Chains A and B, each alone.
Chain A
């Protein structure tokens, strides 16, 4: 039986929350937005060829796993990451690591997670949570989506760690093994901001970053003609679900990134970043307005200010704002 002294904190985004909680256990205090920003989590891509729940995928963040990997690397934290073929082996390894006194981050599929809110039950294999102890086949879990600590039994845990399907977790587990004292987070912040700026405005590919937002706007205008009203409305709903629901802390991570910029301006002592964080906040409010009007459309109220053209115009405005913001951020020193 092991039960580590673990401080659970709810978070808006599972992976940066896990990163924050794990580092916090090792006495390095950073906030969740900070972990997200250093990990360069913000992103945009629209993938019309990759269908999820019968509609194209819109992604507001980088590939799963990257936030933890980048954040720990930039902070000089040594980590250990494993994937497995054999479920039994992976559970033994988990027990061994817990007994050494490290809480462990786990990548799991959400469909069979017993404590998960029923409205989120879908085949989503990129959820993250922390195991911080076990007792007689019962595992103590800190899931940043949940308000409280939870428990899960051996069989269920094995099942979710080896969920099959797209992006199968294969029992992926990760934990920091060595956290240096007195980390200077300033260079890490600057690198994180540069990386995000490059992702958003620096990649010359039409479905990624700011260009991706414009591409989505262009596609959206044709949805109704091409797909018929029902399917078009469902496609729009899919964008909104990705923006507001899938652990994004609201408005597709734009709020959390604004909070990061505000904090960064204090740490780096660069007041202009604060101005930009306000712009980011207003930009996030614009995204929120988009999802509000879009959801009216999904309810089929059919007012002119909720037409696809109108919504696409909002997206274009958002794209312009973000281009301005990230071009400025790219010049950070």
Chain B
């Protein structure tokens, strides 16, 4: 299951992209070059994805243990924080944090659940499910097969 732990970074498409950057050579010459990521870029990007990986897995375990509601897991999986989630779902920040409690989450109305489901782009039934398998389904998989580079 390990290869599924972060679809974003371990995607095959990673590293296929060449970008333009500027540089300066001693003696006073500015240059434009087009190239792949260098090592510095790779390290710091990897660091961010590792952190997201960790947070997603941590959230998954806490949901399974009944400590937090599935909202937390899907929030982490969509790389969101509570503030951004509240803006996306149209629910106030205070209420979003309140809904992190499993007991509160169980009592939520369908209307509120709909809002979350829409923000996470998943069906409501999936949102209610607390035994989340480690396989990721949302996230980047949305975009697979849609790449249209002409």
Contacts and interface: CB of A to CB of B under 8 A. Distances in A.
A79 B142 CA distance: 36
Contacts of A123: 79-80, 84
Interface residues of A, number: 58
Contacts, number: 136
A11 interface: yes
B105 interface: no
B44 to A, nearest CB: 5
A115 B148 contact: yes
Binding site secondary structure of chain B = mixed
B140 A147 contact: no
Contacts of A156: 146
Interface stretch (A62-70, A237-245, A308-316, A319-327): A237-245
Given A10-B34, A114-B147, A145-B19, A284 B8 contact: no
A149 B150 contact: yes
B88 interface: yes
Interface string B17-58: 111111110101010101001011101110111010001000
B22 A12 contact: yes
A146 interface: yes
B20 A11 contact: yes
A252 to B, nearest CB: 11
A51 B34 CA distance: 31
Contact of A150 (B9, B55, B143, B148): B148
Nearest 3 pairs of A and B residues by beta carbon: A281-B24, A255-B22, A117-B17
Interface of B: 8-9, 11, 13-24, 26, 28, 30, 32, 34, 37, 39-41, 43-45, 47-49, 51, 55, 79-81, 83-84, 87-88, 140, 142-143, 146-150
28 contacts: A10-B19, A12-B22, A53-B79, A54-B81, A112-B142, A115-B147, A117-B14, A118-B8, A119-B14, A119-B37, A121-B140, A147-B18, A148-B149, A152-B148, A164-B87, A165-B84, A165-B88, A233-B47, A237-B44, A244-B44, A245-B45, A249-B20, A249-B21, A274-B28, A278-B28, A281-B28, A291-B40, A298-B47
